[in-house]
Amino acid sequence: MKLSSRVRSLKGSATLAVTARAAALRAEGRDVIGFGAGEPDFDTPDFVKQVASEALAAGLTKYAPTPGTPDLREAIAARMRTRNGIDCRAEHVVVAVGAKHAAFEVMQCLVERGDEVVVVTPAWLSYRPMVELAGGTVVECPAGIDVGFKVTPERLRAAMTDRTTAVILNSPGNPTGVAYSRAEVEALAAVIADHPTATLVSDEIYEDLVYPEVDPAVEAFSPGSMPALAGRTVTLNGLSKSMAMTGWRVGWAVAPGDDGAVAKAMTRLQSQMTSGIPTFIMPAAAAAVRAQHETSPAMREVFAGRARLVAELLGGIDRFRTVAPSGAFYAFPEVGACFGLASPGGRVIDSSAAFAEAVLEEAEVAVVSGEDFGEVARNHIRISFACSDAQIRTGIGRIAEWVASLR
Ligand code: PMP
Ligand code: GLU
């Protein structure tokens, strides 16, 4: 069969691949510590499961409105108004199969062939394929470890041209684990506001996971609340991370600008695509959204402790350079000092992919190699610390010992 050129060169998600590989090794009986998946280890709160079960029992098994039920869209809009300060209504919200699908649809709705989308890197590895599948070109705006993974307004301005259609910002960020301060986001937003047409796509999926304990300046702040950008911002969010609901596949975009033009376009697209998320999930998602402000702080507390532990343990590895995570659940150490060395198992470590492969095979720790997160991320590995303190200690202990044995 002949495959389209669109998919022939398409790479699958490396984060999902590492997660699957670690699970397969565990199924073979290997004692693998998984730092691969960007997936909270907590279980979904019981009350959310309860609402979904009741909805199933009550027969909510037929088609529902494509962009989500009015109740779910209103629950999300109310949260975005009160928590995020975004002036929006239910009709500006489109619920999709995870924030991943929402982001994919946003790119389909905004990007024309030849358009440029500025992505601050290191960045989540799915943005590039999403932009490219929409026919656009990714312009990487590098913010590497030397600048603490934070882009400056000057660098952002330099990356934007008259072909820039959109800029993707993601704070707290995957894979860097870095959150910006409100002032920093405002300064970046001002650059975008200065551009005549660019849309800001603000991926705020980790907004509940910010650690002022690590850096007192950091804060979850939505640029879509700024009057200068309110009409030109699409905000992405979902329940995967903050409510430990990755497998439920609930995410959304909020786009109040131009009388909800992007939300309407997304709804048309989605009506030809998935028709929307499962009907009996919708009331459970609404319950989760309404309880988020009460439920997720406890998880945040635990992640903040893990962030400090990870920073301390990685700080003890001389061959690594690490920025202490101030948000999300990732650390993104630079491992270039290991390149050119040989492992006890006889592997030559010449890239972060080789590092990740060897550390999985020889130390039984799954990490994601930096390559797919952007050019500036090549010499890094991503450690997702969405697991217990004991697993963190064991896993980083194994990495440290293995790294020390490289010659
Ligand atoms: N954005 C970022 C930055 C992410 O790390 C993820 C993780 N998968 C997503 C969006 C999408 O999450 P989901 O599709 O599970 O809502
Ligand atoms: N976003 C998470 C990660 O980066 C989940 C996997 C994915 O969707 O890419 O690990």
pLDDT for 152: 97
Q: What percent of the chain has pLDDT over 70?
A: 100
Closest ligand, as measured to the CA of 106: 1
- What average pLDDT does the segment 31-42 reach? 94
CB count, 10 Å around CB of 106?
29
Q: Which of 18, 174, 274, 277 to mutate to test the pocket of ligand 1 (most atoms within 8 A of CB)?
A: 174
Average pLDDT for residues 374-402, to the nearest whole number? 98
**pLDDT mean across residues, the chain:** 97
Structure tokens, 371: 């390559």
Q: Quote the CA–CA distance of 149 and 176 in Å, as a whole number.
A: 7
Q: Identify the band that residue 156 occupies on the pLDDT scale cut at 50, 70 and 90.
A: very high
Atom of ligand 1 nearest to the CA of 103: 10
**Residue 100, ligand 2, Cβ within 6 A:** yes
Ligand 1 atom nearest the C-alpha of 239 is: 16
CATH of domain 62-294: 3.40.640.10
At 122, the pLDDT band (50, 70, 90 cuts) reads: very high
Residue 46 burial (CB count, 10 A): 8
Copy the structure tokens of residue 196.
């005549």
Q: Report pLDDT for 230.
A: 96
Q: Which two tokens stand for residue 391?
A: 């697993």
Residue type, 168: I
Pairing of strands 330-331, 381-384: antiparallel
Instruction: Please check whether the domain covering 5-43+295-404 is classified as CATH 3.90.1150.10.
Output: yes
Q: What is the largest CA-CA distance in the chain?
A: 63
pTM: 0.97
- Per cent of the chain over pLDDT 90 is 99
Query: Comparing C-alpha atoms, which of 322, 321, 383, 378 is closest to residue 350?
Result: 378
In this prediction, residues 231-248 reach a mean pLDDT of 97
For 334, how many CA atoms within 13 A lie in the half-sphere containing its CB? 14
The pLDDT score that the predictor gives to residue 249 is 98
| pLDDT digit string, tens, across residues 128-140 | 999 999 999 999 9
**CB 238 near ligand 1, within 6 Å:** yes
Domain boundaries in the chain?
A: 5-43+295-404, 62-294
Q: How far apart are CA 112 and CA 383, in angstroms?
A: 35
Q: Compute the distance from residue 99 Cα to the ligand 1 centre, in Å.
A: 5
pLDDT, tens digit, for every residue of 313-358? 999 999 999 999 999 999 999 999 999 999 999 999 999 999 999 9
- Is the pLDDT assigned to residue 100 strictly greater than 90? yes
Over the stretch 61-77, which tens digit does the pLDDT of each residue have? 999 999 999 999 999 99
What is the rounded CA–CA span in Å between residue 287 and residue 30? 39
> If you take atom 2 of ligand 2, which residue's CA is the nearest one?
38
pLDDT recorded at residue 37: 87
